[in-house]
Amino acid sequence: MKHTLLRACLFAATLAAWPVLAQSEEVAARVIVLRHGVRSPTSSPDELAPYANRPWTHWPVAPGVLTEHGAQGITALGQRIQRMLVADGLGHGQCDDPWLVIADSTPRNRASGAALVKGLQPSCEAGYVALEAKQNNNLFHFADKSDAKDEDAAVTPPNWPPSALAELQSLLLGCSGDACLQDASKQGRKLLLDPAHDDDAAHAKALKSAGSLSENLMLEYAQAFPPAQVAWGKGDAATIGRIITLHNLQFALSKKSMPAGAKASSNLVAHIMATLQQSAGVTSAVAPLATAKTRTVLLVGHDTNLANLAGVFDLDWHDARQPDDYPPGGALVFDLLKRKDGYAVRVSSWMPTLAALRQADFSKDAALVRHTLPLAPCHGQDSCPLATVASWLDGRLDRGSIDPAIPAMPLNRP
């Protein structure tokens, strides 16, 4: 009798477990789009000088270049990503792991690609692929931008002034109030809150400048400058977290908004989808980013790429634990899930915290703020059928901004 009861219990347990097994899934392929590491401001100290009453912090590298600290951070991030890829069954931490790193052609991206490979495969002769520094790569900046600077559109914010703008202005000038603004104006300073220019065009121009200036102060913090050198001694984590929302707002209006997001990133989206479709056995008219045996593709791009993708996929991942929506090393992750009932797409955000960037240490779980991001065609679900996502994107992409081919990119070794 006891044996009969035991067999019955085991059978019941097997039946209870079956629905879970039926819904089991594996990550068949992954595409990660991440921003390069910590860099210096893209403007020189002389160009920034008119906005502040005090000298800006001196950086150890030329404008717009990855710093040594930034490279260390990206290598540490690569080590963290390696562990995550192995944990998700996408490799074994060996030199023959089916991973590919593609970097944009700008020097900071090429340097970030090299640093990332060192973290992903430290004992291997691995490399990354990228075009030469003076060649434009349409995956990251589509359409004839090889000789043009990627400019933001001047967009008027819906409510003026944004809540953080007065605080940023006070940091720049070292004072606040009407008398402060009047004195700064007499000294020829460029003001973000300028009573003499209070119209939509001036507001749009001020927000564009504020987005860049707030990011420059964030980069001082992330670069691990001594506290006395971050925002003239006033840039603690809480302060940086408040003012960086100006950069978020600027990008929401100029980079994430549609149709601007679609025009800028339809080419990248099309090739990401073709890569996932290839792993699912679906043929696309657009070339995948890598061969079918490649399980993970990592694209080292820019904050603009993340914002553009957020617009096309209708994503939002803002989290107070990392108030910067597009930090150095921040990533959007596109997974192809293999299930019993077919293939599905899952999109996630992996955003390094300010503290982790400052320490160049991503070993702790809390160093990355991670979210699974629901997609609009599958309301409230953590993933969405591949065919459903592809059909939905058909109505959102700018077909005139898609090149079916992938540029031939040579292999570079660190």
Residue 193: how many CA atoms within 13 Å on its side-chain side?
21
**Residues 246-278: pLDDT tens digits?**
999 999 999 999 999 999 999 999 999 999 999
Of residues 13 and 273, more confidence is placed in 273
Whether residue 180 is predicted with pLDDT greater than 60 in this model: the reply is: yes
Report pLDDT for 38.
Answer: 98
- Judged on CB neighbours under 10 Å (0-12, 13-18, 19+), 160 is middle
For the segment 182-205, the average pLDDT, to the nearest whole number, is: 92
The region of weakest confidence among 60-69, 156-165, 304-313, 331-340 is 156-165
Average pLDDT over residues 125-141: 95
- Residues of the chain with pLDDT > 90: what percent? 87
What's residue 14's pLDDT? 35
Instruction: Tell which wins on pLDDT, 414 or 371.
Output: 371
d(CA 108, CA 71): 9
Asked if the model's pLDDT at residue 105 lies above 70, the reply is yes
In order of start, what are the domains of the chain with their CATH numbers? 25-146+256-412 (3.40.50.1240), 165-253 (no CATH)
Amino acid at 391: S
Measured over the CA atoms of residue 58, residue 63, residue 68 and residue 70, the dihedral's sign is positive
- Residue that wins the pLDDT comparison between 366 and 17: 366
pLDDT at 156: 82
Give the separation between CA 320 and CA 312, rounded to whole angstroms: 23
What is the rounded CA–CA span in Å between residue 112 and residue 73?
Answer: 9
Q: How far apart are CA 168 and CA 43, in angstroms?
A: 18
Q: Helix-strand-coil percent breakdown of the chain, rounded to 5?
A: 45, 15, 45
Mean pLDDT to the nearest integer, 122-151? 81
CA angle 272-367-89, nearest 5°?
A: 50
| Residues 363-376: tens digit of each pLDDT | 999 999 999 999 99
When mean pLDDT is compared across 74-83, 134-143, 295-304, 333-342, the lowest value belongs to 134-143
How many whole angstroms from its chain centre is CA 188? 36
pLDDT given for residue 74 in this prediction: 98
In the prediction, which pLDDT does 154 show?
66
Q: What is the pLDDT of residue 20?
A: 35
Return the closest-CA partner of residue 243 out of 306, 173, 181, 162: 162
The predicted structure's pLDDT at residue 305 = 98
Look up the pTM and report it: 0.91
Compute the distance between CA of residue 381 and CA of residue 25 in angstroms, rounded to an integer: 15
- The band of 152, judged by pLDDT with boundaries at 50, 70 and 90, is low
